[in-house]
Amino acid sequence: MLIKYFSKEHINARVNLINNPLVNNSMFFNLPATIEETTKWFNNKNNAVRVDLTFLNNNNEIVAMGGITNISLTDRMGELYVFVDPVFHGKGIGSKATKWIVNYGFLKLNLNKIYLSTNDDNIAAYKIYENLGFKLEGLLRSHKWKNNRFVDRKFYGLLKSEWEHQDYKEQKVNYILT
């Protein structure tokens, strides 16, 4: 898998993924996403508090996007997000992307904690997080309004000291980012 920093050339793909109901069903983007709004977001985003990545397969197709947002250098933590193109669901892409982002967060950003939240009914996602060592820290009841109903959110965290015992832990981030 090739990993690149999110760039202007990825805007169209991001808009298409965000507008895909199989992606946005469990995400909380402003819909519909547009090229204009996403370009404005890209031009104005504060790269000091977030890292956005694009994951491509060997055919140079975008298979996933993700990163770490809300980075606090004082508290040494950030919030992980990842979404996979539905065409590539069930192929281990989400797990690979999440591992890469976690390694990047602990090694490159020197974070102490990576956290995330996911819908309580997003079983595929939270199985990945639990398999990678994330600990359930709480259930946020009726936390978000989505699809005409309130949804519960599971809140997960992974500490650097816990990550150090994971078999996917890297000694260095050994991928070339462009």
pLDDT tens per residue, range 71-115? 999 999 999 999 999 999 999 999 999 999 999 999 999 999 999
Residue 153 in domain = yes
Residue 174 in domain = no
CA dist 69 and 88 (Å) reads: 24
| CATH assignment at residue 151 | 3.40.630.30
Per-residue confidence (pLDDT) for residue 57, from 0 to 100: 94
Residue 168 in domain = no
The predicted-structure confidence for 117-152, as pLDDT tens digits, reads as follows 999 988 999 999 999 999 999 999 999 887 788 999
Residue 178 in domain = no
3 state SS of 137: strand
- What is the per-residue burial (b if ≥16 Cβ within 10 Å, else e) of 74-110? eeebbbbbbbbbeebeeeebbbbbbbbbbbbbbbebe
Quote the tokens at residue 63: 């298979």
Instruction: Give the mean pLDDT of 162-171.
Output: 93
Residue 104 in domain = yes
Instruction: Give the mean pLDDT of 27-34.
Output: 88
Name the residue among 123, 149, 153, 151 with its Cα closest to residue 138.
Answer: 153
Residue 86 in domain = yes
Contact 103, 170 (CB under 8 A): yes
How confident is the prediction for the chain on average, in pLDDT?
93
Per-residue confidence (pLDDT) for residue 177, from 0 to 100: 67
Total structural domains in the chain?
1
Residue 170 in domain = no
Query: Residue 43 belongs to what domain range?
Result: 2-163
The predicted-structure confidence for 38-74, as pLDDT tens digits, reads as follows 999 999 988 889 999 999 999 999 999 999 999 999 9
Per-residue confidence (pLDDT) for residue 174, from 0 to 100: 63
